[in-house]
Structure 1
């Protein structure tokens, strides 16, 4: 493969290093998800062969993307997403070069007129040569783009993040969750002395003129935003894990020089954490590729088989690295199970966040589980519903100013799962989770593939597994902003009524535990209410083990004070 910079003949040496947040993005490029065009829904994405050259001195990127699609319906145009900050120098269709007039990309939605109409079932291959100055992230990974940095000794340290704005920041793609390519080949060319760990399996390293190297990787069905470039003078720790399912999983961690002791301590967490996930959820989904982690100049991100890690080796009080654990959880919840629409984003983050208290329980027992859940409980905002029932962009979910639930997809999602687990029991809860993640209850290495899922599907699975209808539960927690409120009312005859008050629902039959003078009983609350005897002097504690997510005025007051203090700063 030829030197991409020379091939594209772009005036890269004239480019000054861009400041953060530039070059600016169009509204189209900043949007990930949302409605697709008819031409995009008509495509099955078969394969992407992506060649990149990273040019640190110019903070530039060049690329050749060879994309293969199969038409599901007749089309006359290919429509893919690509940031216009990466101008296109050439496009060919099935080996035939197109004239410059055959494509246009004014706002970041690249439209290519095909030489002839494509019939249903027919395949087409587009080769797109492009390059330039990609958008630089302001505060990765909370906003996206390139992260150009230096190691302590002044060498290049580079990474990409794309979850929020999408894959089109640096490669031409279909920027929608369900438009994953079936397979991807990556070829990443870097300057002398640098390495480029990436997704999937390493096929080999080519040595090129001027001491450059090209790193060749292959990944199957990667999440669109999970394709990642990572470049630095990395050192590597590697090993293997003998799975409880009988297969052997390669493990690798790429870290910066001078951090060997810290890196070894983090790597020591890989195997026990993997064992927890395999015991709790099921087989590691990409055991035939690797469990890979790379140190990055940003906090972290769930890049499939090459999770980004930037937590500075800081263990939390629970004794493990929460960031490593959380990003690894996304190999199951995000990469194996991918939300079919960003409106279902909580399937990634709610499950991913719930795995941390479950791991605390796995390691230390119920006390640690409860402490970790309590920390999450204080961060629930309840400003917007978690699910709105329509096609949304990632930012419309992640940004409260756009009506999104924001971090409630993490913490409220986690607490909802905590309550559901108590409601239906461990056997049903974990069975429903396995079916949701793998599409079957008996996952084994080789008998499943990555899949897409939705809130509605998970709801159906829970109902099927339990043999009961729990739509009322999901409607209350996911489709309403406010939490269910358990109202207590004294009645005559030394009795007390407990009644659920739930926005948008006439009945909420959520059982609740009460403790009367230290004796705990479970109230069925069949019609959303119950009456208990509370003789004079009786000490009543509602939900003593904090099983149920419900309105808490004390937490609301705490959050209000905290928000006021922040606004005054």
Structure 2
């Protein structure tokens, strides 16, 4: 997702909109289809956080399948749901712990075919004793029936939950977006990024006349007197916060994409009725952007299902195979729709390769952000690339390391008073920009491919979605370069302050060295424009002096801004913007 704000609404980049986060407090209202009203339940901190250290009762659980049913009632902003999880315990344990917002009331639980009469649902956690029939390494099912008025996202996607909106014609327009708060806002789950169901069935029942677009392939549509039900299925590992409901009066554009890898798959865009002309213009970008990604990164990971996009009443989110798009078709100054391109990047960086912990979220967002200037370069050359990189450079804050190497919740990462905040976007992109300059395009893109696919020969059919962390990327870079590049990441990823290129000039003598808080060595080739000549000088922490052709020759250090480094004028402007 493209977040320019933390959850307090604080400025996190040059394109931020300065507004505060408002958490929705839900009122107690009788639900359609429910026998008694649901008591008002403010969403608690436990539910509003996602990730962090694994809970002890969830360390030995595997999630095999998720079968999710949602009965949506727009008139009361309520949901009746049934979730069946196929789980496996890998070590002996007596209790099970799942996550679900207390805005929902649980009506029944069944585990391994046995009704569970004694369970607790407090502070966003469901706890109960497992039947004796549950044994180690043997799959079993847990079914939970629940109902309630879900947490409302007041400012999606910056805060998560349901978005209950209406189109200009007054029809319901509904979406979910829960990256920041996790899957437990919409279904009973294990709220940690490492719990991805290997198969997901999503059934969404909506009032007749509405369409429900979701992840995977559309298996069937069934009709009742006053409702329609859409059954979607994903048979690949599914990012749990990427499971999404999108409901509205949609029409559909669809075509078949013929990949450079010799296979084909559907491209689908669900758009609001009456907006076909604008939708067609955006839809024309789909194959162009896919061609870029398949040339530069590798095969589209979810070709067995679809490359899908849906128009939403919020800005956007990387919902696997059904990316949310809510930019209202605004023209882009870089000759492409940046939001569409950024969210599409996450099919590779976020959905195909998923971080093992939120602490490594820069692998999603740094790469995802770097793809926009790369695409600009692909379309129109270096001038556009450098313009976009400069725009990103202004937003870098350097207040916390990008990676702390400890378990982090989403808030730990995105809130600038706790963690790197927007630096996982812009600074992450600039780290990749500098690394690419240092090791060259071949090594850089080969290492990126290894990170994404877990193989150096990604062809359709020989890779699956997988997990990775920063060390995995370092290992890939080391393998491609034949060198230990850990020092580079020590300076740029594991500490906040940037290296500073210190220069001193005395007549025709120019002395250079890098100053950095990191103890690791730091050696970087530095380009210097000396008059009309371009020189390259290898600079380290040790002072190095070169002789210039004259006392008054004009010099420019790093004239193409290939190195991410501390520069006073950028810090001053960034601080000004942050106010």
TM-score over 0.5 for the pair:
yes
1:421 to 2:436 alignment:
yes
CA–CA separation in structure 2 for the residues paired with 1:559 and 1:547: 19
Contact 2:31-2:78 within 8 A present in 1 as well: no
Q: Which runs of 5+ in 1 are unaligned?
A: 1-5, 17-21
CA–CA separation in structure 2 for the residues paired with 1:280 and 1:407: 25
CA–CA separation in structure 1 for the residues paired with 2:387 and 2:294: 24
Contact 2:398-2:496 within 8 A present in 1 as well: yes
Residues 525-536 of structure 1 correspond to what in structure 2 (within 5 A)?
Answer: 525-526=539-540, 528-534=542-548, 535-536=550-551
Contact 1:23-1:134 within 8 A present in 2 as well: no
Alpha-carbon displacement from aligned partner over 1:49-79 (angstroms, at most 9, x marks no partner): 0011110011001110000111111111111
The residue number in structure 2 matching 1:150 is 166
Contact 1:15-1:58 within 8 A present in 2 as well: no
CA–CA separation in structure 1 for the residues paired with 2:69 and 2:321: 19
The residue number in structure 1 matching 2:99 is 81
CA–CA separation in structure 2 for the residues paired with 1:298 and 1:229: 13
Normalized against structure 2, the TM-score is what?
Answer: 0.92
The residue number in structure 2 matching 1:10 is 34
The residue number in structure 2 matching 1:3 is none
1:479 to 2:494 alignment:
yes
SS in structure 2 at match of 1:139? coil
1:198 to 2:214 alignment:
yes
Contact 1:88-1:128 within 8 A present in 2 as well: yes
1:239 to 2:255 alignment:
yes
Residues 39-438 of structure 1 correspond to what in structure 2 (within 5 A)?
Answer: 39-99=57-117, 101=118, 103-116=119-132, 118-208=134-224, 210-219=225-234, 220-401=236-417, 403-438=418-453
SS in structure 1 at match of 2:544? strand
CA–CA separation in structure 2 for the residues paired with 1:326 and 1:158: 22
Normalized against structure 1, the TM-score is what?
Answer: 0.94
CA–CA separation in structure 1 for the residues paired with 2:217 and 2:545: 61
Number of residue pairs the alignment of both structures matches: 548
1:23 Cα deviation from its structure 2 partner:
5.2
CA RMSD, aligned part only? 1.7
1:278 Cα deviation from its structure 2 partner:
0.3
Give the number of the structure with larger relative contact order, counting CA–CA contacts within 8 Å between residues 6 or more apart: 2
Contact 2:503-2:510 within 8 A present in 1 as well: yes
1:11 Cα deviation from its structure 2 partner:
3.6
Contact 2:490-2:520 within 8 A present in 1 as well: no
1:511 to 2:509 alignment:
no
SS in structure 2 at match of 1:246? coil
Q: Which runs of 5+ in 2 are unaligned?
A: 1-29
SS in structure 1 at match of 2:351? coil
CA–CA separation in structure 2 for the residues paired with 1:561 and 1:106: 45
SS in structure 1 at match of 2:147? strand
Alpha-carbon displacement from aligned partner over 1:419-459 (angstroms, at most 9, x marks no partner): 00010000000000000000001101111000101001111
CA–CA separation in structure 2 for the residues paired with 1:182 and 1:148: 30
